Structure 1
Amino acid sequence: MKTNITVLAMIAALGGFLFGYDTAIISGTIGFVKTQFNLGTVMEGWYVSSALLGTILGVSVAGFLSDKYGRKNILIMSGIFFALSALGCMISASFNGLVAYRLLGGIGVGMASMLSPLYISEIAPAKTRGRLVALYQLAITLGILVAYFANAYLLGVSESEGMANASGMTHKIFVTEVWRAMLGSETLPAVIFLLLLFTIPQSPRWLTMKGRKEKAKNILLRFVTNEEADEEIKHVEEILSKESGGIKMVFSGPFKLAIIIGISIAILSQLSGINAIIYYGPKILEEGGLQLGEALGGQVIIGIVNVLFTFIALWKIDQLGRKPLLTYGVIGIMISLIIVGLLFHFEINNTYLLMTFILVFIACFAFSFGPVLWVLLSEIYPLKIRGTAMSIATMAVWVGTAFVGQMTPWFLENLMPSGTFWFFAACMLPALYISIKVLPETKGKTLEEIEHYWLSKKE
């Protein structure tokens, strides 16, 4: 019986679900944590971005560890960190303890953010690789959406008559300090992810790289015929024989442009302002005239649009290609950011108009930057140092995210919402140039063919 690669991709993509959930669940807790621990603007930013520091730590070691010990084993480690972080945040006794557990969760996010798409790209056939890796981004958007629903639901529980008679720890977690229930709710999906990871095989490409051809072939035979398995192993061995130089391959020769493209797209994806909306959406929507409950409801709508438009990428990325999706998405992002800035600048207090263009922004990001980034990062690097190279590029995502998470409160306070959105719009100009002029099209090519493309280019 053949193993369904889509099922394996969906299990690996659960790392994206936890990434999205962990990223978004914090949005409903910021006000409560800020009040309880009497946080200023800088410490509020630290609460949000502390997990991102952990993410940078996680992604910085994930590549090396996965190249040495395998993609599957380090994914399992990330699942353990997710579960421990969720439980720890729920019971932490101090702000420093809370931050420490957020850091631990961040390490899990960092590992999963790199390894989930990498694992999927290494088991997927060329003709459906874009779609299968895009499942990871879809899982991120679903994680964000479920987190928004969880926040709205738990806020309702805390204010319900049914909890009026609760006492002790239950009252503390679900009523007086409901942020604990919000952060702790991640435990369930983390445990499910962890258990399912034990059912997936190692990456056949990684096993071949380690000289374990027989085991690699046995795994490949679960997906393809004997002839196709032999052919794939032969291609991987051929490309490995042409690779040399270890880590210096990342920074010199034909692969230098690949790493520059990866890092640039990674940072610019975050400078679009996507996480300013994810993290500080309620605060921004309140600035636009919504009450907190309405603002959290607005976040749920944002989450729904994010999921729906990711399906466009899932549907079209292997048909239209990576470049067109990214180009049209970036243009839409720029236009919507400029208009949202104008609405705030001229104090046009039409919340429906504000929500409309924020949703246009989310829609454009969801079918372009969101999925295309992870597809590109998982496919443009050489096998021998794929884990390490992807670590470097993925770290750039999180450096950008940490910058946005830390600086958005300052931007909103000093540049005002209008200046904040215009800053993000200006950052899209280099993204547009790279998308149109620099980025190669990789649709329909095997990972080995993409590698041949870089090797064929002159230094």
Structure 2
Amino acid sequence: MQATSLQFAHTDSGIPARRGYVWWIAAVAALGGLLFGYDWVVIGGARQFYEVYFHLTSDALVGWANSCALLGCLVGSLAAGTLAERWGRRPLLLAAAILFGVSSAFTGWSHIFSTFIFWRIAGGIAIGVSSNVSPLYIAEISPAAIRGKLVALNQFAIVVGILIAQIANWLIARPIPAGDTGAQIMQSWNVQYGWRWMFFAIVLPALIFTVTSFFLPESPRWLLARGRDVEAQRILQRVGGENYASIEIATIETSLHEDSAVRASWTELLRPGLRRVVLLGMGLAVLQQWTGINILFNYAAEVYRSAGYGSNDIFLNIVITGSINLLFTVLAMFLVETIGRRKLMLAGCIGIAASHLLCALAYRRAWPGPVVLTLTLSAIACYAVTLAPVTWVLIAEIFPNRVRSHGVSAAVSTLWLASFALTYTFPLLNHAFGTGGVFVTYGVICVIGFVMVYFGVAETKGRTLEQIELSVAERRTG
């Protein structure tokens, strides 16, 4: 009982004295999210030009070029769990930063399709690593009172990266006259150079991330698990002062001592006591993707073209979707610590489901394009303020200290598998059921997600990671 009272004695209700330092750490780590967002969405603007350059005429080749990076995401997220546990969180962030810059530069420099695919997969590995380690690292170094905001900062950075990519695509692409022949289009600036600059643009922020990563401290929880107590104490003192550091070290070491009999490994995730948490994390990851919102980013041109929009309006609509996404992500950073994780997730499932089902009706009744745009923006707004950031927060919080890196890796790997399935199946579903039918499918998935969250997710707002771990343990044995 001593451990229980010790863990719950620390509620961390105040903002740490050195909040500027904590926000700086989180902002640097979140640069991985910004590069993730840019690299993930830039393909949407570049594809219509590199497809012409590489003479991609079959659906199989088009789909492979558009989704191959997701396989790299899976590889990176699977590797990140083991590597982050062995080498620490900071070296993985640095490696991801370097890989982002190198892969983007060589993707833009590619002159044959196989080289393009190789570097897109390499960029996907960087996304997979950063999507694991950035929220994991931020959660482990953040005080409980502002952890939700700081982890949500990573999602904010992802959204900023998405918007930057959408604006870059819009500004770099030059209008192609309607009367141009195939040969003229092939020799156009867009096809020969434009799509390359869309990838080159990420090199500068990748360089900034690389340089700033050298100044990040290591996760104090990882250091304590390795017996490097002095280093951990020094970092925690910088985060919140001496009293904060003493309490945090005591609670973390108590948790580590209780877990010392079991060595962290992938097989540990299969133990009966942890299976439920792992399945919940994986379920949340799948739900975040299968809401279908990312289709509105990766296949925005097809969605808006089906609603009757022309090419120039489509590019503008894509920038509008990115702006709405950014605006409501900022709102989420304030709500995640006031309303709480569980209520936001429930509200998001209902809001997205309603938007999707109304959008399906709009397609079926052939309502005007602005109605479809409004409903898609409604779905994006609901997603940005709820499932998009909160899923990452929950995944970073719910796993015990000893298996957190492996648990996050399992959940995020599932997220990328779900993302691959979503991206790959949209053209098939769209062809079979029409765009309205696809939105019905995603709306039903959101309703199912509401049931999962209602019965499976407990509130974690304002609680330390060790308190969350203890409550999960009590639920397992209760």
Relative to the length of structure 2, the TM-score reads 0.90
CA deviations over 1:428-448 (Å, ceiling 9, x no partner): 122101221210100010000
Confirm whether residue 381 of structure 1 aligns to residue 399 of structure 2: yes
Structure 2 counterparts to residues 34-433 of structure 1, below 5 A: 34-36=51-53, 37-156=55-174, 176-243=192-259, 244-245=261-262, 246-247=264-265, 248-348=267-367, 350-433=368-451
The letter for the 2-side match of 1:374 is: W
**Is the alpha carbon distance of 1:381 and 1:353 closer, same or farther for their aligned partners in structure 2, counting shifts above 3 Å?**
same
The letter for the 2-side match of 1:16 is: G
Corresponding pairs, count: 447
CA deviations over 1:123-178 (Å, ceiling 9, x no partner): 1100110011000111111111110000000014x769xxxxxxxxxx98766342
* Unmatched segments (≥5 aa) in structure 2: 1-16, 178-186
* Unmatched segments (≥5 aa) in structure 1: 161-170
Question: Greater shift after overlay, 142-151 or 217-226?
Answer: 217-226
Contact 2:83 2:92 (8 Å CA) reproduced: yes
Deviation at 1:108, TM superposition (A): 0.2
Distance (whole Å) between structure 2 residues aligned to residue 66 and residue 223 of structure 1: 22
Deviation at 1:39, TM superposition (A): 3.0
Deviation at 1:363, TM superposition (A): 0.3
Q: 1:23 aligns with which of 24, 36, 40?
A: 40
Contact 2:285 2:415 (8 Å CA) reproduced: yes
Contact 1:327 1:435 (8 Å CA) reproduced: yes
Q: Percent identity?
A: 33
Distance (whole Å) between structure 2 residues aligned to residue 84 and residue 8 of structure 1: 24
Contact 2:56 2:62 (8 Å CA) reproduced: no
Deviation at 1:346, TM superposition (A): 2.5
Distance (whole Å) between structure 1 residues aligned to residue 29 and residue 189 of structure 2: 31
The letter for the 2-side match of 1:451 is: E
SS in 1 for 2:338: helix
Distance (whole Å) between structure 2 residues aligned to residue 295 and residue 240 of structure 1: 53
Contact 2:80 2:132 (8 Å CA) reproduced: yes
Question: Greater shift after overlay, 296-305 or 175-184?
Answer: 175-184
The letter for the 2-side match of 1:32 is: F
The letter for the 2-side match of 1:294 is: D
SS in 2 for 1:24: helix
Contact 1:159 1:175 (8 Å CA) reproduced: no
SS in 1 for 2:238: coil
**Is the alpha carbon distance of 1:172 and 1:385 closer, same or farther for their aligned partners in structure 2, counting shifts above 3 Å?**
farther
Relative to the length of structure 1, the TM-score reads 0.94
The letter for the 1-side match of 2:230 is: E
**Is the alpha carbon distance of 1:315 and 1:323 closer, same or farther for their aligned partners in structure 2, counting shifts above 3 Å?**
same
Contact 1:310 1:366 (8 Å CA) reproduced: yes
The letter for the 2-side match of 1:311 is: V
> Paired residue for 2:29?
12
